[in-house]
Structure 1
């Protein structure tokens, strides 16, 4: 759900945008300057007649000053695209039509993953790419369930699992935890039907992230622990990377429960050795590697309120090697949050403007970014008010 500016903030925004003095607007609306000041600071709530008078004097609709109705994320596709939802509910090709080959399906899913991890307009792109891909994949799964070619059936199920992993990330970032849980479950079922241990572990990693998003931190840790145990007998590169990624799920679960010491120790004892063993990578699109482990170290310190230590660690990290725009976005947003907690407003603004350029759709969908912009407006200095107002508009907070 998107954040919006409170009524007082909106009134002040429009008054300043219209270049009107507080005393003049208050006098013309029949209220005192002090009363209007209290309204703008959130200390008083205006009555409906006063609100209408203010709107008329500022030349805006009364609805522009209200925030009862949550705004939609800015951009062409707020939330989960309707066509994606329809495809997940079973709208697709006729059952009698021939399915795509497993090779063609695999190429399309991998292309979709590359788009999702690298495109600054990935939500808009996903709204176009995913609906037909979901329909074609689920149709292929249905056809191969009753087929006699066991190798093709397994290949299609693997591809389906990979697509559901992408859909988990898409639905989660679109703030639809319910759909995210549904596709995470489908991914786990497809991986199990394919009898693929690596994809089963990846499915558990995806499920763990859904549980984290839903506040089920203990459940996320249990899923992660189960996945690590199932991979314990294998020392192959992908198995080690997936075990490391699952350990990071448990690290986040510890941090969210304010078990800072446990989170730090698990990171050093469980995740770091695996990251050193496998190097930088992107096994099953988990972006597991030493850089990602270091980013989790920043996250722990941020969650713990240790902003000085978080920024010290962040200054030593080079994220240019990461294949995932989403991971780089999350890192820079957390750095901005540390600066926000320290009231280093210029630094907050610089980081948010950087994110607006590199990942505009992710920024527009981030409640944390929206909260930071609202706080920034309350403390903003005149020298960069224009940039903050531009951010406010671009994030759809008005």
Structure 2
């Protein structure tokens, strides 16, 4: 390593404050931005980083880890002789992750086997999406299906006889990649998530299918935004380009295209909320809701889950990302989860409600809501970093009942041994 290179977070000895500064800088985040996310003055962050204030207690450390999207607690606090590291924002590697990774890295030699028909692939993808939305163990189910879907859609692209057939096969391949992106999210292989996202985006654009392009953009925007403030502009640009493609002639567009526009607008609102741009965030939410109100009351987009039922959930997320505790709690109290037909989307909404209650200092309500999330879709809750952080923080609560409830949830989420 060059003597001019900055120290890494694992180089010892590095103080806690130095580690905070290193991770903040790598996220492209200013002290003012980090302070805003934590509810402190920038001078507080400066005191932490310069060592003029001692290391805070565990709840504050967990909030710093959450703001900086730090995977492992020991990346932030160093080797303190504790138990092996705790993954915060990436869940445990799923048993089927290796098989999915292998399928994404493999290409069958020409002539190995014949691709299934487009009708078969369409039916297989539809079945996989139903499992994704309906099974409580959806990662297990789609993890078992993905290797075959990835292989078969690759074969369909390679064996297409005409340009039109190839474009249709590319749209199916892009959809398989979207399904894979749901599976690999929050697992301990971030590079695989980017590989899947980029492959799905490339296949979608080659297919020239507007719906495939829009779905790929929707997922790509999430990947960029979740990477931190340094990539918010890229998230916005991905959404802008997709909306530029899809919004013309929107009044005459089919329902699935209208819903996709609504989902993209909602994503733009979440990115604005991450920036603390209150007016822009709610403005985008209102524009998304305009689309939702055009759709039938029971409409549900099969990939993005967009429809009227999720607008309350989006409202909770916007308020939470704006760190508006009272508004987040109000949104959470009136947002109905039972009408959301997708189990993982319903569970994610419950997790966002729990974040709202936790932000509003309603810790017991947050834990109860996380129990509901786990009941709806254990796979979603187990792999969600925000749920894990709230539970870990409350295991140190001074209130015995909260501590017991959090400890039971920690066992369910695999954070503590039974």
For normalisation by structure 1, the TM-score amounts to: 0.76
Task: Give matches, 1:1-398, under 5 Å.
Answer: 66-70=82-86, 77=94, 81-92=97-108, 95-144=111-160, 147-148=161-162, 150-174=163-187, 176-215=189-228, 216-234=231-249, 235=251, 236=253, 237-268=255-286, 270-279=287-296, 280-283=298-301, 285-383=303-401, 385-398=403-416
Q: Tell me, yes or no, if the aligned pair for 1:251 and 1:267 is still in contact at 8 Å.
A: yes
Q: Tell me, yes or no, if the aligned pair for 1:202 and 1:284 is still in contact at 8 Å.
A: no
Deviation at 1:97, TM superposition (A): 1.4
CA distance in 2, matches of 1:100, 1:380: 59
Deviation at 1:292, TM superposition (A): 2.1
| Ranges in structure 2 where 5+ consecutive residues have no aligned partner | 1-56, 59-78
Instruction: State the SS of the aligned residue for 1:320.
Output: coil
Deviation at 1:384, TM superposition (A): 5.3
CA distance in 2, matches of 1:380, 1:362: 28
| Ranges in structure 1 where 5+ consecutive residues have no aligned partner | 1-40, 43-62
309 and 261 in structure 1: CA distance in 2 versus 1, 3 angstrom threshold: same
How many aligned positions are there? 334
Identify which range, 226-235 or 93-102, moves more after superposition. Answer: 93-102
Deviation at 1:82, TM superposition (A): 0.2
Q: Tell me, yes or no, if the aligned pair for 2:262 and 2:292 is still in contact at 8 Å.
A: yes
Deviation at 1:311, TM superposition (A): 2.3
Q: Which runs of 4+ in 1 moved over 6 A?
A: 72-76
Aligned counterpart, 1:8 = none
Q: Tell me, yes or no, if the aligned pair for 1:75 and 1:361 is still in contact at 8 Å.
A: no
* CA deviation profile, 1:214-241 (whole Å, cap 9, x unmatched): 2211111111111111123223133322
Instruction: State the SS of the aligned residue for 1:321.
Output: coil
353 and 238 in structure 1: CA distance in 2 versus 1, 3 angstrom threshold: closer
Please identify the structure whose Cα radius of gyration is greater.
1
Deviation at 1:69, TM superposition (A): 3.1
Please report the RMSD computed on the Cα atoms of aligned residues, expressed in angstroms. 2.7
